[in-house]
């Protein structure tokens, strides 16, 4: 059987062997409940605190500011609801963007049912939020701004540090204004230092950087108003109840340490492959790059191939051993075209033709060249079947 060429790193990554190795003892040997007093349990407790220290160092934070949880979705939910409810006496206005992950957008929609008002900032054709738009949207009722560090579909990197400056200025009038970022796609590719970014809360998911699934963290800056969402025991300093996922924490910490250590090499490796892929695909007619040409994640190459539907390209790529992703409605249960692409002004019928390749450590130049060899034929075959392509030809 041919080797799988995995180009869907933004969906998930394999757990790297080194990460798996450090996790394994915490399943069946050092399995104690960290809240217990005996030494078996204290081994687990120490592992958690060592992991917290590691994660805090990568973020430039204090270990007390790191809350372990089940992943990016929980982190986003907890951050947004936690801050919004804690500050609702002061105001019920939240600012976010139109291209956030559903974990953020659906949480905002949920809060709208509780009387919160949400401003969804537009983006330009490259998927960039304008800092001035964010600045103008702030009212005396604004309590929370939540923007993603980098977009999961098109890879555009948002001007977080600049928005952080705006928030800093705004705090002169609104001392409790909270700035949260969903940094899920940024780990391993971008600097996550919370002071440089100027953020109060930050979400991460371990499985996006060669760590385990079901594991994430939320950074909450000391003093930020926050109401715990998951109630129960006093774990995580009363901020997230539930017995800790000890192997998950150990694995995420190691994965994050490695991601940060190898960050510049990773960016170099991926961006070289990404640019090779982008250059090659440019020769396929009626196709275009989506997202920002420069301000984009090192591993993200996303495109639209007009007149062909994304899922049918994905299935065809899968037959040839290539795993990629699409913003087409047909690949989701929602039956709607990608909200990210439509917010960027791409018509829905074109958004259905989107394909995202996200590269990783295991990809090589040969992989990219293989994709470039098979993709033109796939697009050509599907276009030959497409009534839209036939119509477009007649109208020329």
Catalytic residues: 330
- C-alpha distance across the termini of the chain, in Å: 43
Exactly one of 335, 394, 395, 396 binds other proteins (CB under 8 A); which one?
A: 335
Cα separation of 376 and 381, whole Å? 9
- Give how many residues touch other proteins by CB under 8 A: 26
Q: Which stretch binds other proteins (CB under 8 A): 215-223, 232-240, 265-273, 326-334?
A: 326-334
Residue 309 engages other proteins in binding (rule: CB under 8 A): yes
CB of 393 to other proteins, least distance (A): 11
Token pair listed for 64: 């007390």
Residues 244 and 34: beta-carbon distance below 8 Å: yes
Cα separation of 196 and 251, whole Å? 26
Of residues 159 and 321, the one with the C-beta less far from other proteins: 321
Cα separation of 294 and 393, whole Å? 32
Residue 395 engages other proteins in binding (rule: CB under 8 A): no
Residue 41 engages other proteins in binding (rule: CB under 8 A): no
Cα separation of 284 and 301, whole Å? 14
Residue 320 engages other proteins in binding (rule: CB under 8 A): no
Phi then psi for residue 118, to 5 deg, are: -120, 130
| Angle ∠(184,228,49) on CA atoms, nearest 5 | 65
Residue 308 engages other proteins in binding (rule: CB under 8 A): yes
Instruction: Please give the radius of gyration of the chain, using alpha carbons only, rounded to the nearest integer.
Output: 22
Residue 390 engages other proteins in binding (rule: CB under 8 A): yes
Of residues 121 and 337, the one with the C-beta less far from other proteins: 337
Cα separation of 122 and 98, whole Å? 6
Cα separation of 156 and 2, whole Å? 33
Of residues 232 and 347, the one with the C-beta less far from other proteins: 347
Phi then psi for residue 386, to 5 deg, are: -90, 125
Of residues 349 and 366, the one with the C-beta less far from other proteins: 349
CB of 1 to other proteins, least distance (A): 17
Of residues 37 and 335, the one with the C-beta less far from other proteins: 335
Phi then psi for residue 232, to 5 deg, are: 160, -125
Residue 163 engages other proteins in binding (rule: CB under 8 A): no
Residue 330 engages other proteins in binding (rule: CB under 8 A): yes
Q: Which stretch binds other proteins (CB under 8 A): 17-25, 74-82, 346-354, 356-364?
A: 346-354
* DSSP single-letter state for residue 147: E
CB of 351 to other proteins, least distance (A): 9
Phi then psi for residue 137, to 5 deg, are: -75, -15
Residue 392 engages other proteins in binding (rule: CB under 8 A): no
Task: From 115, 121, 71, select the one nearest 92 (Cα to Cα).
Answer: 115
CB of 388 to other proteins, least distance (A): 5
Q: Which stretch binds other proteins (CB under 8 A): 104-112, 120-128, 202-210, 385-393?
A: 385-393
The footprint of other proteins (CB under 8 A) covers 307-312, 315, 319, 328-331, 333, 335, 337, 347-349, 352, 384-390
């Amino acid at each position: 059987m041919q080797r799988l060429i995995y180009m869907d790193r933004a969906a998930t990554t394999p757990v790297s062997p080194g990460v798996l190795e450090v996790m394994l003892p915490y399943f069946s040997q050092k399995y104690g409940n960290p809240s217990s007093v005996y030494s078996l349990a204290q081994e687990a407790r120490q592992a958690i605190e060592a992991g917290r220290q590691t994660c805090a160092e990568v973020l430039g934070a204090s270990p007390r500011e790191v809350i372990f949880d089940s992943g990016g979705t929980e982190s986003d939910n907890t951050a947004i609801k936690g801050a919004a409810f804690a500050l609702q006496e002061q105001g019920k206005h939240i600012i976010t963007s139109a291209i956030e992950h559903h974990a953020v957008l659906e949480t905002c929609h949920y809060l709208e049912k509780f009387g919160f008002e949400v401003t969804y900032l537009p983006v330009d054709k490259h998927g960039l939020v304008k800092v001035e738009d964010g600045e103008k949207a702030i009212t005396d009722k604004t309590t929370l701004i939540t923007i993603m560090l980098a977009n999961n579909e098109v890879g555009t990197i948002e001007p977080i540090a600049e928005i952080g400056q705006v928030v800093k200025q705004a705090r002169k009038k609104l001392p409790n204004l909270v700035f949260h970022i969903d940094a899920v796609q940024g780990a391993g590719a971008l600097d996550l230092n919370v002071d440089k970014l100027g953020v109060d809360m930050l979400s991460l998911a371990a499985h996006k950087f060669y760590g385990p699934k079901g594991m994430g963290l939320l950074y909450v800056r000391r003093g930020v108003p926050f109401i715990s969402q998951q109630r129960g025991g006093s774990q995580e300093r009363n901020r997230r109840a539930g017995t800790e996922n000890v192997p998950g924490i150990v694995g995420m910490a190691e994965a994050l340490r490695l991601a940060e250590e190898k960050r510049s090499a990773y960016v170099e490796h991926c961006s070289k492959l990404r640019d090779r892929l982008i250059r090659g695909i440019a020769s396929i007619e009626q196709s275009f790059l989506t997202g920002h040409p420069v301000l984009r994640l090192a591993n993200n190459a996303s495109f639209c191939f007009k007149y062909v539907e994304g899922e049918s390209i994905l299935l065809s790529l899968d037959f040839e051993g290539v795993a990629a992703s699409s913003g087409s409605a047909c690949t989701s249960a929602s039956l709607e075209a990608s909200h990210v692409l439509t917010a960027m002004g791409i018509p829905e019928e074109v958004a259905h033709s989107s394909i995202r390749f996200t590269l990783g450590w295991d990809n090589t130049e040969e992989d990219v060249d293989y994709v470039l060899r098979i993709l033109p034929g796939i697009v050509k075959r599907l276009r030959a079947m497409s009534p839209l392509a036939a119509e477009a030809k007649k109208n020329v």
